[in-house]
Amino acid sequence: MNNYKLTIEYDGARYLGWQRLGNSDKTIQGKIEHVLSQLTGEKIEIIGSGRTDAGTHARGQVANFKTAAALEVGEALSTMNHRLPRDIVIKELSVVPERFHARYNASGKKYSYYVWNNPIPSAFERNYSFHYERKLDLALMEQACRKLVGKHDFIGFSSLKKSKKSTVRTIKELSIQAEGDLLHFTFVGDGFLYKMVRILMGTILEIGAGERDLATIDAIFDQKIRSSAGATVPAQGLFLDEVYY
């Protein structure tokens, strides 16, 4: 069997998320599998590095699939991008060792979250950022980011109900860059729990708006209760930038 790696870019605005759904064709995985099955003449199942929620975007999602077909990479890449919807693009297609697994071999991920911080909304940023009207204290949010960096049990910042697996993760970078009214938050870590980035963002914004103080971060780590953390911000501001191997 041949094993192929895909690097994928997509605008998630009109999709129900990454994961294939039996009752809908509005998923990223489903669209790509449909095209690959046509291309190879086989029923293809792709393995993603992880799921993204409805409305979430990606610049560097990674997936792999196996097939008996020996694809000519350049031709297959061109054919896929011709047949896929314009809001899903295969940026790279490559042959990888048979044991490569997009999810299990991943060593970390990089996400971006964008906040449009102005009382007036943006017509252009509405699908790619969260419109937050309240004034934010950038210096206070940077302090919050520094407290979140490091190795912690992030179960309180997750929508996971229960987990037999470890919920300890390491955030290596959490930074903010102001681009006019657009705030760009960067998250780099060895892994992220279900909705963890969106809940971290909700907590950081509430601190920046003066709705909670910095000490609540330590309290959330201690209590390990989801209800202690901030709101889950909308998905449209979230981008999966890169998967590390």
The structural domains of the chain, with segments of one domain joined by +, span 2-96, 108-244
53 in catalytic set: yes
- pLDDT computed for residue 144 by the predictor: 98
The residues, any chain, with a CB within 8 Å of residue 184's CB and separated by 6 or more, are: 112, 113, 114, 176, 177, 178
SS3 228: helix
Phi, psi of 113 (to 5 degrees): -130, 135
Closest CA to 52 of 236, 230, 233, 187: 236
Cβ 232 vs Cβ 202: under 8 Å: yes
The architecture of the domain spanning 108-244 is 2-Layer Sandwich (3.30)
Where helices occur in the chain by DSSP H, the ranges are 28-40, 73-83, 138-148, 196-208, 215-223
Pairing status of strand 57-67 against strand 238-244: parallel
Question: What is the 8-class DSSP label of residue 226?
Answer: G
The b-or-e profile of 2-20 (16+ CB within 10 A means b, else e) is ebbbbbbbbbbeebbbbeb
Residue 4's contacts (CB-CB under 8 Å, 6 or more residues apart) are: 64, 65, 66, 67, 71, 93, 94, 95, 96
Per the CB < 8 A criterion, the answer to whether 188 and 169 are in contact is no
From the candidates 11, 25, 53, 190, give the one annotated as an active-site residue: 53
* C-alpha–C-alpha distance, residues 203 and 213, integer Å: 10
Place of tokens 């699939």: 65
Confidence at residue 161, expressed as pLDDT on a 0 to 100 scale: 82
Residues 6+ apart with CB under 8 A from 145: 174, 175, 176, 185, 204
- From the candidate CATH numbers 3.60.110.10, 3.30.70.580, 3.40.50.970, 3.10.450.50, the one assigned to the domain spanning 2-96: 3.30.70.580
**Tokens (6 digits) for 173:** 């970078």
Instruction: Please calculate the CA angle 29-35-41 and round it to the nearest 5 degrees.
Output: 120
Judge if 2-96 and 108-244 fold alike in CATH terms: yes
Average pLDDT along the chain, 245 residues, taken 10 residues at a time: 97 95 89 97 97 96 98 97 98 98 98 98 96 97 98 96 88 97 98 97 98 96 96 98 98
